Structure 1
Amino acid sequence: MDRKIHIMAIGAHAGDMELTCGGVLTKYAMEGHMITLLHMTAGEKGHPKLTDDEYRKQKIGEANAFAEKIGGKAIVLDYKDGELPDNDDVKFQVCDIIRDKKPDIIITHWKNSMHKDHATTYRIVQDAYFYAAIKSFKRKLPAHFVQGLYFAENWEDPYEFKPYVYVDISKSFDKWIDALRSYEFVVKSPSFKYLDYYSALSVVRGAESRKTYAEAFAVDPLGMKQVYDYFPVR
């Protein structure tokens, strides 16, 4: 790719986007592109020993460590895990971040999830993406149109998720896995084998796309329209 682009991954909790699209983020960062991870919450609830405040501080440190290892930047907002509000105040806050950072591509959660924060983040991003692009929404910064919106594959967001875009992450896989180890829950969770699941999923998606490793993404149905003068022939 000749032109340098900016990818913003927006997740409900620190760790969500790192697991689901971290291989792609790492690949782009390795090629000199700009990467921003925007976390709506730290995902601070549920640690077996630490208080929420203690774990929040740890998760923010882990988010920054992951971003630094792949060559990106992390932003963690102040909303509480499990209590992410679904209102225009939040949506315009994300709109303003989009206008400020000017990403070319946004990756976020799929719309159907067993986790309320994931589904809420999907709705926040959908509206923020719209608000950011429309000049009539007067904010401090001028409008910015994001060229691509993609939805990452998460084990908690499986309902009606249909892979449409596959991205080869074979060259970035090892660096991504190393960066994932920055998160305690990824390697030590007693309830789910995150590292095993997502590394294995990248093997499956790689096999489906005839690559060693890959990550898959859904798109909005309107984004599936492809226009040609003639049928493409390989």
Structure 2
Amino acid sequence: MRILAIGAHPDDIELQCAGTLALYKRQGHEVFMAVATNGDMGNFDVPPAELAAIREAEFKAACAVIGAEPIWMGFPDEKLENTLANRLAFVDLIRSADPDLVITHGPDDYHPDHRYTHQLVWDALPLAGVGSLATAHPATARQVTLYFMDNVGGIGFQPTEFVDITETIEAKKAALAKHASQLRIFRQLMDVDLLDVVDTVGKFRGYQAGSRYAEGFAKVEAWYRGLSRRLLPEGSGASRFDYLKGDAQ
């Protein structure tokens, strides 16, 4: 399969679904990671143009950890809008990856860039297969299944499916660690360790899923997008019950 994850900012994918993407890659699938905005507003002490270049380099380094193909869209940070021109850019993004499955933000995330990314992906998906709508890449041959990834901190998000990422949690952390400029500013301004966030949320979702670590997703049920089979990968980690049995023996 071909999997496309689309995040609003350079570290969103790593925070929310990098464990699943790493699992897909290990299982032989093709993985694409796309980021909509350039992250140039994220640090108060680095000029925007310089920061955009830093964030792009960090994003590509994170993709290399996962083994994913990076796609940098370059929209201005904090200024993403749901316009027709932007919708067509997202149509072309989807066509360029020709995915079986797309993962992106849900509609109730905290940041406007996240919510506009959600809306642009939602609106672009049915258009990606319209052959008479011309973009740089040819139309896709199928409607694409869509999943929403978790919100930051797991707040206000109710997963419908889980992926056991016990075997890829360290790859997820390693990918996120490439975003040094973002990790630094969160520690400095908010006293938040983003690596601890993904570990804590991963364990929390793992408790729900019956594994050591998990990521949560909500599958979109819409006309021509529903499937009778699961597309998310199956992890090979032992369940918590299996660990308990091992401890008891």
Please report how far the alpha carbon of residue 140 of structure 1 lies from its aligned counterpart in structure 2 after TM superposition. 4.8
Question: CA separation in 2, counterparts of 1:95 and 1:225?
Answer: 20
Give 1:108's aligned residue.
104
1:61-140 paired onto structure 2 within 5 Å = 61-140=57-136
Question: CA separation in 2, counterparts of 1:85 and 1:99?
Answer: 20
Question: CA separation in 1, counterparts of 2:82 and 2:153?
Answer: 19
Q: Look up the equivalent residue of 1:218 and give its one-letter code.
A: A
Please report how far the alpha carbon of residue 48 of structure 1 lies from its aligned counterpart in structure 2 after TM superposition. 3.5
* Aligned 8 A contact 2:14 2:176 in 1: yes
My pick for the range that moved more, 30-39 or 57-66, is: 30-39
Question: CA separation in 2, counterparts of 1:225 and 1:107?
Answer: 14
Please report how far the alpha carbon of residue 222 of structure 1 lies from its aligned counterpart in structure 2 after TM superposition. 4.2
Question: CA separation in 1, counterparts of 2:28 and 2:227?
Answer: 29
Please state whether the residue corresponding to 2:127 is helix, strand or coil. helix
* Aligned 8 A contact 2:220 2:226 in 1: no
Please report how far the alpha carbon of residue 210 of structure 1 lies from its aligned counterpart in structure 2 after TM superposition. 1.1
1:1-234 paired onto structure 2 within 5 Å = 5-144=1-140, 145-155=142-152, 158-159=155-156, 161-185=157-181, 187-188=183-184, 189-190=186-187, 191=190, 192-222=192-222
My pick for the range that moved more, 133-142 or 95-104, is: 133-142
Question: CA separation in 1, counterparts of 2:47 and 2:26?
Answer: 36
Question: CA separation in 1, counterparts of 2:227 and 2:101?
Answer: 18
* Aligned 8 A contact 1:21 1:215 in 2: yes
Q: Residues 118 and 19 of structure 1: is their aligned pair in 2 closer, same or farther, counting only changes over 3 Å?
A: same
Please report how far the alpha carbon of residue 34 of structure 1 lies from its aligned counterpart in structure 2 after TM superposition. 1.1
Q: Look up the equivalent residue of 1:9 and give its one-letter code.
A: A
Runs of 4 or more consecutive aligned structure 1 residues displaced over 4 Å after TM superposition: 221-228
Unaligned 5+ segments in structure 2 are 230-249
My pick for the range that moved more, 32-41 or 43-52, is: 43-52
* Aligned 8 A contact 2:42 2:182 in 1: no
Please report how far the alpha carbon of residue 134 of structure 1 lies from its aligned counterpart in structure 2 after TM superposition. 2.7
* Aligned 8 A contact 1:36 1:74 in 2: yes
Give 1:232's aligned residue.
none
Question: CA separation in 2, counterparts of 1:65 and 1:33?
Answer: 20
Please state whether the residue corresponding to 1:13 is helix, strand or coil. coil
Identity of aligned residues (%): 29
CA RMSD of aligned residues (A): 2.3
Please report how far the alpha carbon of residue 114 of structure 1 lies from its aligned counterpart in structure 2 after TM superposition. 2.5
TM-score under structure 2 length normalisation: 0.82
Question: CA separation in 1, counterparts of 2:204 and 2:198?
Answer: 10
* Aligned 8 A contact 2:161 2:218 in 1: yes
Question: CA separation in 2, counterparts of 1:133 and 1:58?
Answer: 35
Please report how far the alpha carbon of residue 221 of structure 1 lies from its aligned counterpart in structure 2 after TM superposition. 4.8
Unaligned 5+ segments in structure 1 are 229-234
**How many residues get paired?**
223
